[in-house]
Structures are given as structure tokens and as C-alpha cells.
Amino acid sequence: MLIFRYVIEIIITFFVVWGFNFFLNYLLKKKNNPLVSSIITFIIIGFSGFLLAPYVIAFPYYSFVYMPIALGFFLFTSIKILKA
């Protein structure tokens, strides 16, 4: 049952980081270069995840949950920006 809880937390964290990433990129692209906005978004998600994850996620190693997701979105958006 504990594994099921961790899987649900990972799925919910994925959608929260996805929405937060999309929202911050949308806001920051208005004033900054798209690559700079992607870097700033990754830094903000990293800090907010570092500060909030211990209180929200029950997974013992919470950085293994949000950082790969945030890094994946950062790499995806960076590659998409550099190809355009």
C-alpha cells in the first residue's frame, strides 16, 4: 500500500511541476529571452521544491521525486527553444 501512495505522489508531483513550469515560462517569456526564462523557471522550481517538498511529499527522498521531473521539463523546453 505504501508503494501505491508513492506512485500517486509521483504522478501528482509530475502534474504540479508541469503546470508550474508552463505557467512560469508563460509569464517570464513576456519580458525575457525564452532560454533565460527556462533557466529562471528551473531555479524557481528547484528552490520551491527544496523548501516545500519535505512538508508535502511523504517519499523519504523527496528530491528524487521533483528534481528529475523539473530537470526533464528544463531539458525539454531548452531543446525545443534551441531547435527553433
Of 39-43, 58-62, 64-68, highest mean pLDDT: 39-43
Q: What is the mean pLDDT of the chain?
A: 85
Convert the pLDDT of each residue in 17-36 to its tens digit. Answer: 899 999 999 998 888 888 89
Q: pLDDT value at position 7?
A: 84
- Report the C-alpha gap between 24 and 26 in whole angstroms: 5
517569456: which residue's cell?
Answer: 29
The residue range of the domain holding 10 is 2-83
Q: pLDDT value at position 49?
A: 81
The secondary element (H helix, E strand) that includes residue 19 is helix 2-28
Answer for the pair 17, 66: CB distance below 8 angstroms, yes or no: yes
% of the chain with per-residue pLDDT over 70: 98
Q: Is 40 helix (H, G, I), strand (E, B) or coil?
A: helix
Q: pLDDT value at position 82?
A: 86
- Total domains, the chain: 1
